Amino acid sequence: MTATTASSKSKDTRGLAGQTVGDTQICSVNQTSLIYRGYEIADLAAHATFEEVAFLLIEGHKPSATELKAFTAEVVSMRSIPDGLKTLLRDIARAEVGSHPMAILRTGVSYLSHFDEEVEDNGLDAERRKAKRLLAKIPTIIGYGQMVRDGKTPVDPDPTLNHASNLLWCMTGKKPTDLVARTMDVSLILYAEHDFNASTFTGRVIASTMSDLHSAVCGAIGALKGELHGGANEMAMEMLKDVDAFVSAGGTVRQYMDRAFETKQKLMGFGHRVYKNGDHRAGILRGWGLKIAEAQGPDSKKWFDLGDAVQKIMLDDKQIHPNVDFPCGMTYFVMGIPVPQYTPIFVASRITGWCAHVTEQHQNNRIIRPLAEYTGPELKAWNG
């Protein structure tokens, strides 16, 4: 056997770049559009609610008014979490323990699996019921964990609030304004689904072994935790904080970016494996975030001014566009959301897409087992 190096290939396919690895009826991602089950993302962001998109992804079609009402009521009724999970969260979410919020959320989902009577049922109807239960309970886990982290008394989910508003309520104990609530709702729509991204593909690989939905979701959360995937919005905001500190010390955004280019600093929130000409979601979310910043005044708007300056230099110098994580960092920051919760919020949305993919995999399954190209040493004799 002769060793082959990656450099000898005509095309770099590491990370399965450019490779089609399966079929899906859930989502289409390409240079010109992002489509959920036939509906384009800008159309959904402008005219749909997150609950409607959640139904679309989980159930497979646009809901009627009657279906949406029943779906929403069912999900709202499932928001509470077991007392045992609350006790666990009080132990692991305390600030002094130092647990990452995504690790806390992963543990919470794993805990719930032990008390879901349908956990081992991979049938279509059971999958959809489990998906709704996770959709309902994940904001409660996130909020309970954040309140414990802040040393505050957790609040119960509010049945009068929609998914986006209840998520904010659980995290902060404050009812959001209409603008903040709608902005969160739009962000959840934008993050709900994105075909075979790293976390979704992880979930499908796990599901392809005929493991259960909760296990697949725990694996997907683990994949999303990484800064090159879900954690990118957190890192994008931390980068902007660095830019602000540099400018406050007398530097300029131009100088910061030149230094970043020279030192090959990773600039989070830019570039995308698929969207070479720009992420369709980025401009939508920036627009909503800017509305909040402008309403709050100069101290909030400065983050978008800094972001716009960084974005222009990246585009002018490197021809690299921002992805949705860049405006997300700024938007969530001016909404007052703690940076470590940015990625868990992603889960409160993407759980819909993950569950849709796990269900699709289970309904037409073949175990996912790709081949690897060996690049190690040539054959040797052990006693030679």
Q: What residues are labeled active site? A: 229, 272, 325
Assigned token pair, 160:
């009068």
* DSSP annotation of 7: G
C-alpha closest to that of 351 among 122, 50, 121:
50
Instruction: Name 39's bridge partners.
Output: 36
13 sits in which H/E element = none
The burial class, CB within 10 Å (0-12 / 13-18 / 19+), for 299 is exposed
264 sits in which H/E element = none
CA angle, residues 207, 233, 14, in degrees to nearest 5: 55
Q: Classify the phi-psi angles of 368: left when phi > 0, otherwise alpha if psi is within -120 to 50, otherwise beta.
A: beta
Enumerate residues 6+ apart whose C-beta is below 8 A from 79.
Answer: 136, 137, 139, 140, 157, 159, 166
**Cβ 71 vs Cβ 55: under 8 Å:** yes
| Residue entry with tokens 């679309």 | 56
**Cβ 51 vs Cβ 349: under 8 Å:** no
As a whole number of angstroms, the distance between CA 245 and CA 263 comes to: 18
Q: Can you tell me whether residue 40 is helix, strand or coil?
A: strand
